[in-house]
């Protein structure tokens, strides 16, 4: 990503470029998360199918909103967001979602792991933007809040009465 010719007031062009770089990484992950969630929606089967199937679509829609919000923040910072499939694939340092048609139990366990990874990296991005740009940090915090709620929904399906996650 090249250094933008302008950025938001209060940031240097270099700071704006750094925040945009951090957000570009998040954009790739969020795009992939939206696709993964839709993949789960299409491929989940078995016990509690309809509950899981219908739980996933609102998550897809909200994550798609995060994609747009993140891309627009990159543009606001003076950089050019890249949401192309090739850019997503080229930037990946994580494994592809491993399940196709599988049970609700299998998908929920894997989706829990996916949220763990996405949230851990989102928290790193939040920490990295805290000193640079509180507006971006606030946006990331809002995304974390929503994704933690989604993860709780996933975990509630996996949890027994004693509070342990079932596999």
Q: What residue has token string 């989102």? A: 122
Q: Is the per-residue pLDDT at 1 higher than 80?
A: no
Q: pLDDT digit string (tens) for 136-156?
A: 999 999 999 999 999 999 999
User: How far apart, in whole angstroms, are the C-alpha atoms of residue 89 and residue 9?
Assistant: 33
Q: What percent of the chain has pLDDT over 90?
A: 86
- What mean pLDDT, rounded, does the chain reach? 95
Model confidence, pTM: 0.94
User: Would you mind telling me the total number of residues written for the chain in this entry?
Assistant: 167
CATH number for the domain whose boundaries are 13-158: 1.20.1260.10
Q: pLDDT digit string (tens) for 49-84?
A: 999 999 999 999 999 999 999 999 999 999 999 999
CA angle (144, 117, 110) in 5-degree steps: 110
Q: How many CB atoms lie within 10 A of CB 66?
A: 23
């Amino acid at each position: 990503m090249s250094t933008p010719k302008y950025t938001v007031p209060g940031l240097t062009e270099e700071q704006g470029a750094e925040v945009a770089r951090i957000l570009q990484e998040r954009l790739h992950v969020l795009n992939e998360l939206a696709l993964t969630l839709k993949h789960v929606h299409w491929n989940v089967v078995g016990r509690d199918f309809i509950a899981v199937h219908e739980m996933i679509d609102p998550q897809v829609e909200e994550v798609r909103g995060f994609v747009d919000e993140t891309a627009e923040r990159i543009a606001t910072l003076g950089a050019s967001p890249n949401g192309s499939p090739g850019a997503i694939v080229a930037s990946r340092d994580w494994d592809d979602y491993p399940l196709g048609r599988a049970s609700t139990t299998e998908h929920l366990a894997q989706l829990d792991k996916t949220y763990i990874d996405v949230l851990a990296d989102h928290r790193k991005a939040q920490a990295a933007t805290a000193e640079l740009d509180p507006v971006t940090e606030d946006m990331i915090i809002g995304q974390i809040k929503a994704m933690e709620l989604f993860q709780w929904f996933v975990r509630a399906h996996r949890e027994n009465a004693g509070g342990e996650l079932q596999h």
